[in-house]
Each structure stands twice: as structure tokens, then as C-alpha cells.
Chains A and B, each alone.
Chain A
Amino acid sequence: MSDKTVTIEINGMPVDATAGQMLIEVTDREDAYVPRFCYHKKLSVAANCRMCLVEVENAPKPLPACATPVMEGMKVFTHSNAAIEAQKATMEFLLINHPLDCPICDQGGECELQDLAMGFGRNVSRYTERKRVVKDKNLGSLVSTDMTRCIHCTRCVRFGQEVAGIQELGTTGRSEDMEIGTYIERSVDHELSGNIIDLCPVGALNDKPYRYSARAWEMLAKPLVSPHDCAGSNLFGHVLRGRLKRIVPRDNESINETWIADRDRFSYEGIYADDRLTAPMLKVKGDWLEVSWSRAISEARDVLRTSVGDDGNRLGVLVSPSSTVEEMYLLNRITRHIGSNNIDHRLRMRDFRDQDADPVWPALGMPIAALEELDGVLIVGSNLRREVPIVAHRIRKAAIQGASVGFVNPSAYEYHFPCAAYVEAPVQLLSQSLASVLVAAIEMDGGKASEAVRLGIDIAGINESHRAAAQVLLGKKQALLLLGQITLRHPRFADVRAIAAALCEVTGAKLGYLPEGANAAGGALSGVLPHRGPGGQVARTVGLNASEMLTDPRQAYLLYGLEPEHDFSNATLVTQALTAADTVVCFSSYMTDALLEYADVLLPIATFAETAGTFINVEGVWQSFDAAAKVLGNAREGWRVLRVLGNELDLPACEYRTTADICDALAAELGNQDLDTSYKGRFKPTLEEADIDILALDVPMYAIDAIVRRGSALQETAAARESKSI
């Protein structure tokens, strides 16, 4: 597309446009409304619905605005008689086969067809013949279908081809017999496939778990942020009388564009799972009693004081990486106040040897949107599409625009874009494989690298795949080496990172992380780390990390938002440690058999949609949100409970009235320090083989946290069933 500017006239108003731009982009920008069904700003132009016909001076017939490039001097009329007549005629044809079932259609009230029928439809149909009927398809547990309502705009088909990268839906048959479907019965399995629900302009594709449970106009849309991955996708929670009924994307061009992952859309079912903890509970002589909040909190204070005594080191605090900044900051303050430094949110990590060189927070090193501008990305140890689908989508866009994308991975996970390099790195040998890439890069760079960068590595068996991976980063203007969750959870993480950092030094690439949870950045910045306080201040005494707290059991534990048997690298060890402890105080949204077994006090806390809070995403953006839904039962927002517990424990300056107060306090503590996230360590890696299995490192997409594990529709998807069958 050239950058030449042309001047056109829309409804008599002269406006500037870029030559080659489609008319509809200009009319949208100028707020001259043109009706449409098949056109979508994120998809290619199909021009098959003909709804956007407009009158153009000197054109013999009305032209589709979505497929007409602007030209100098063009005079466009969007509301002239000829345009309106053409639009009305199109509408009449579209309604020929559309059932009049709006009263029982979930799309009713938020339906583009319904809206446009109001604007452009006749009030009486002239069509008296039989309407066609199309059999519904079973697309799996997430998307419901009413295919008779389909108007063949093909947005869902184009979404598969262009955004997901794998076409799952297609148009079969022709003419009257044309249908949208999969031809053979199969589910749509892509991790972004729920977006076809929003794309569908009619009620053909709808949200299956939400089906028939509310009407669009009854609900309030409350802004939320995804609690499942580090991208921090923006969401709207639709709430009916305090209950979250469904989740849809909230446009944010710099993070999730208009898409969200299925995990973000459907996990809300977990909020209303049967085993929600709805009242504070206390174990009295082996029996569980429901008690008042004041009694539960004072009991929590007492048991913590008794078992910790004068030695704060007896306490271990383990925090979910998807807790809010406010919760984490208060937990940090309470733990240090009790005199313990044993606090951590890195629950699935195994290797903490080089933690002093950790960045202030595990960062992508660039904005998410800037991933598209990269020309080289090397992804090390990551099942990217399942870890952070939104980041995977951005990287796919980069690859399609010509970036070289390479992987150093234990398995060739499926990617729907051209892959420039793949180093098969058995999980035990991840560090060796990356070291081979480093050696290849040094060799290809002409051997100019300093001794320090060589890390004293001497490795044989460099092959073409290693050179190809090095080539992905070498000589690129903007390159990124991305460490995924398989790497972060790896028992030789420190080695892998040191090698990765050297590789970045040789190639000029940036080093980025994809940490677990929605708020790993918040965890690090608010001081939920044994070796650092808020903002990366070095702790005077280094406490025990998440792994040491279990291998070297504590007398007392405080668990925040966890299911220990699922959320740790070593389930057996954590259960042993908790069972043997004198005191276990649990802040939890769920009541599990395991918690009832070893806990002493259970404090029910709100889930992500029921609390106000802040998540800091992987690019460092603070995203605050208010509570969308009413907290279930007698549960409370976590930060309020922590504040009261802080008061009970005589924590000074703990009079926060809102989450904003807590954020301000943390921000004041962070000050204006330079939050540099590059690697400055001097860790000397060794290339030892790790004793680990890939299944232990690659946590399935729909098992990542307690809420997702209870999302019943997600648990029925092909991806969930596949991971359970292993």
C-alpha cells in the first residue's frame, strides 16, 4: 500500500485517506455508519454479505464499502436513497432464510442482524415460501450452534485461516445447500476458538456454557483482567444480580487486540464450583466448625503467634502467582513483620541457584504489541500456544510478516506458521542443546566473542539445527530470546539462563521471560520473594524459597490461594511438609479434602472476579480492576482479610481503606528506581544432565490453576482430555 494521500468526499464532507485503503475504513474513522456483517477489521475482506453497499458518484451500481479502495475525488454517499435502497434489498435477502426466533436466541439484544433488521428491514416479509433448515453441528463443549441462523458471512472461517492459523470450519455444499461446519463431526480445538462466538454477527455460534442463562440487556459489563497468564488480557465480566454469567474480550490493541484465549473466556465456571469455600472454618479437636470471621482471624493470629514464637524463621508463606498486587504486598508486610523472610510465589520453580541475578521482575523486555515488530525470536523451553496464547498469537503474526521464529524445545509443539529453526532438546539436556546454539552462534559470528561470553563451554556435535537457531537471532535488528515455562520450571534453570544470556550478548538479542500466573511481576515487585523486598531491595537475611520451605519443613505455614497438591513442583513433598506442620493457615477459595486434612484455619477468599485488585503483566503494565461479581457466601476479598489480620498482628500503618491505598503505598516504596530487567549475573553454568521428565515441566493448559481446573466446559475439551490421558 502506498502512503499517497487522496481526498474523497463522504456525504459531502471532504476527508483525507490513504490510497488503497478500503472505503469502510475511512467511513468508520469518520463515523459515517455503514452496516456490515462479513467485514471485520481484524480479518481479510470477503465482500460476500453485500450489506455495506454505498452509492459512489459515477459508479453504475452501489459498491461494497469493504472492498472498494478509495480513489482521488471519489464522492461517496452512505445514506442516499440509492444506498439505503440497496442495503434494504440486501437485508431482505438475508432474512429470507433466517428464522424469526429472536425471543429464544441468546444473541437477541446484542445481535448485529437484529439491529440491522430494525434499521433496514421491512416490517412485513414478502417471502412466503419454505425457509431452509440446517442441521446443528456439535463443535465441542465451548461453542453452541444454531446453524439455521447462519447468514454465511464466513467470519468464523476466516478467523480459523487467518488468526488461529488452522482452518477448522469451512463452507461445504453450494448455493441453497451451503453450510458452515466441519463436514465430519469434530470439535473446534484451537485455544483461541471461542472468539468465533464474538465474531458471529448472528446467533449461529454462541457461548455453550452460558446458553439460555441470561439476557444480554439484563447484565452489567464490568471490566476485568485475565487471572490465568502473564499477558493480562482485558476482559468484560457480564454480571447478572451479582453473579458472573460470562466473559467476553475487552478491546485493548496493545495487549489482546480483540481476542481472548478460551481459558480466559470459560474458566469463570470454576468460580461457582461445588467445592467453593463460603464460610471461615476452624479445626477444633479434629472437627471442622464454621465460625465467625472475627473468631477465625483471631484464631489465625493466635496459632501463628504460638507456633512461630520468637523465631520468625519457623513460618513459611506460599503465595499463588495469580494473587493481586495488593494481596501480595500485604502478605509481604505481614511476613516480614512476623520476622520471617520465608515467602515465595515461584511455586513450580526448581532451581533457585542464580536467584540473586533475577531481574526486578520477570519481564518480556518489551511491550506485547512490539512482538509483532521483531525480526527474530528464539523460544527456549516453552509450549507457547498453551502457556500464553495471546503472546503466541503475536509471535505468529511476526512470523507471517517474515520474522524468523525458532524453538529450542523438548517436543515439536504444533505451530501454524513457518518455523525457521527447531532444535530438538530432550528435556534432560536442555542446557546442552542451548549451549550448542551458543557455540554455533559464536562460530558464525566469526569467533569475536570474549572469553567471558564463551562461559568455558566446550561442546561437540554442533549440527545444522543449532546453526539455524543461532541464525534466528544473529544479525537481526530486533531479536528476542524468550524463556518459557518449561525453562523456568527446569531443575537446571540457572544454567539455561546463563547460556541464554550469553547467547543474547553474542547476538544482540533481548532476553525475555514468560512467567507463570497472572501476576508474577506483581509478586516480584511487591516483595513476595525470600531474597528481596518490594522493588527488588535485597533482603538483609535471605529466607527460604518455595522449594526449601518444603525440603526443610517449617513449623507453620500460611498458604494463599493455592491447592498445594496441584500447584507445586513436588506434590508429595508439599503434602508431607504440610501434614507434619504444627499450624497451617489457608486462605483459599476452595475447600478440598487435602486442605481439610492438614489445615487448621480456612479463610474463604474471593476469586479474581469478586475482588478489586491489580495485576502487573509481563510487559510491566499495572492493570487495576474493581470487583465484578458479588463474593460467594461469606467469603471476603483477600486484601480486606489480610488488612484485618495485619491489624490483629499489630502491623504498623495498616489502615488501608481501598486497594488504591495499598497500590499507592507500594508505589511509594518502589519510588522512581530504574526497573531494569536485563540479566547482569555472572553465573557459571555447567552442562549436567537433569533428572526430570517433560510431563513434570509441561503443566497442561487447563490445569494451571484452581479456577481453570474447575472450569467444567474447559475440562471437556480435546486439549484437557488429551492431557488427562497421558
Chain B
Amino acid sequence: MSKGALSEQVCREIDHWVAKFPKGRQRSAVISALQAVQHENQGFLTQDLMDAVAEHLDLPPIQVYEVATFYSMFETDPVGRHCISVCTNISCMLCGSTEIVAYLEKKLDVKLGESTEDGKFYLKQEEECLAACCGAPMMMVNHDYHENLTPQKIDEILEELD
């Protein structure tokens, strides 16, 4: 639970964000800090990492836990290293996202919100519209958008991941 848990690069990134806010308002940098930390830690946060962020920002740890548990983009439990989120909001749903999700669930043998046993894929439950309605149905894999999905296209995308 020491500062040592954060890499030098993450610390630099956090400080970069802290500098954007008035002095004493470092709490505003929690989201950016957690994003940086989660990115470096294969897509999820641990309590040690959150404590380290709290210490780095000089905040009570609970204020970091609050943010991490509030936003769906933060994972507080270990997940697979490739994060797949299928948009299931209205446009995608009308264009067949239900089948896309079903196909992924069958292919990966997991339910929405679970990770594969080998720790490679995480099929995330997406809460909101991912704002790519023109290419529905769509999914986001590790922050990359893939549109006009078909089962075949999904196979190709997942094939390329190591």
C-alpha cells in the first residue's frame, strides 16, 4: 500500500492532471488517475492501487473507492485482459445486438459481465450507448470501435488478439 505500487509514468500522468485543477482540488483528478492506473494494470483496479492513488492525491481512500465503484468504466475485480463491450442500446438493439451478444457468449462460453477462464477475454456489460449508431451493431474492444458486426467479423477481430 505504498506509493511504490504506482509506476513512475502513472505518477507523471496523474500529476499532469492534478496540475490542471486549482491547488487543493486534486480530488478532481481522481477519474483521470484511475484511468491511467487501470490502463497500466491490464484493465482492472485493485484495492492496493486505489489506496496508492488516494495516497498520491492525499485523499481519504474512501473517496477513491467511491469514484471507482460509481463509474462503469472502472473494474474493481480482476477481469480478462481484452475488454469487449457490445453496445446494446436502442440503435444497436434494433440492428441485432442481441444476436451479437448471444454469439459472443456462446463463442467465449461466458455470460455478459464475465471473463473467460484463460483470462484472455472479458465480456463487459455495457450500460450506455457507445455513440456509433450509424454503424450498428457495434462493439468496442480495448477502446477500438468495430462497426456493422457479423459473426464472421467478430471471429476475425478476436483472432487478431493475442
The residues of A with any CB-CB pair to B shorter than 8 Å are 166-174, 182-184
Contact = CB atoms under 8 A, between A and B. Distances in A.
Given A167-B62, A170-B66, A182-B62, 8 more contacts: A167-B60, A167-B63, A170-B60, A174-B69, A183-B62, A183-B66, A184-B47, A184-B61
6 contacts: A166-B60, A168-B62, A172-B66, A172-B70, A174-B69, A182-B62
A174 B63 contact: no
Contacts of A166: 60
Nearest to A171: B66
Contacts of B60: 166-168, 170
A170 B63 contact: yes
Nearest to A167: B60
B65 interface: yes
A170 B70 contact: no
A174 B73 CA distance: 13
A166 B58 CA distance: 12
A183 B76 CA distance: 11
Contacts of A174: 69-71
A15 to B, nearest CB: 38
Nearest to A183: B65
B63 A183 contact: no
A174 B60 CA distance: 19
Contact of B69 (A167, A168, A169, A183): A183
Interface string B33-76: 00000000000000100000000000011110110011100000
Contacts of B71: 174
Contacts of B70: 171-174
A172 B69 contact: yes
B35 to A, nearest CB: 17
Interface of B: 47, 60-63, 65-66, 69-71
Nearest to B72: A174
Task: Please classify the interface of chain A as helix (H, G, I), strand (E, B), loop, or mixed, using the class held by over half of its residues.
Answer: loop
A49 to B, nearest CB: 19
Contacts of B61: 183-184
Nearest to B50: A183
A366 B87 CA distance: 66
A171 B71 CA distance: 12
B81 to A, nearest CB: 25
A389 B69 CA distance: 33
A178 to B, nearest CB: 8
A259 to B, nearest CB: 20
B7 to A, nearest CB: 23
Nearest to B70: A174
A453 B3 CA distance: 48
B82 to A, nearest CB: 25
Nearest to A165: B60
Nearest to B60: A167
A171 B63 CA distance: 9
A172 B61 CA distance: 12
A606 B71 CA distance: 56
A171 B47 CA distance: 16
Contacts of B66: 170-172, 183
B27 to A, nearest CB: 11
A174 B65 CA distance: 12
Contacts of B47: 184
Nearest to A416: B60
B80 to A, nearest CB: 22
A183 B70 CA distance: 12
Task: Give the 3 A-B residue pairs with the shortest CB-CB distance, closest first.
Answer: A170-B62, A183-B65, A172-B69
B76 to A, nearest CB: 9
A184 B65 CA distance: 9
Contacts of B63: 167, 170
A303 B37 CA distance: 76
Nearest to A184: B47
Contacts of A169: 62
Identify which of A168, A173, A183 gathers the most chain B CB atoms within 10 Å of its CB: A183
Contacts of B65: 170, 172, 183-184
A207 B70 CA distance: 29
A63 B71 CA distance: 29
Contacts of A182: 62
Contacts of A168: 60, 62
B124 to A, nearest CB: 16
B69 A173 contact: yes
Nearest to B69: A172
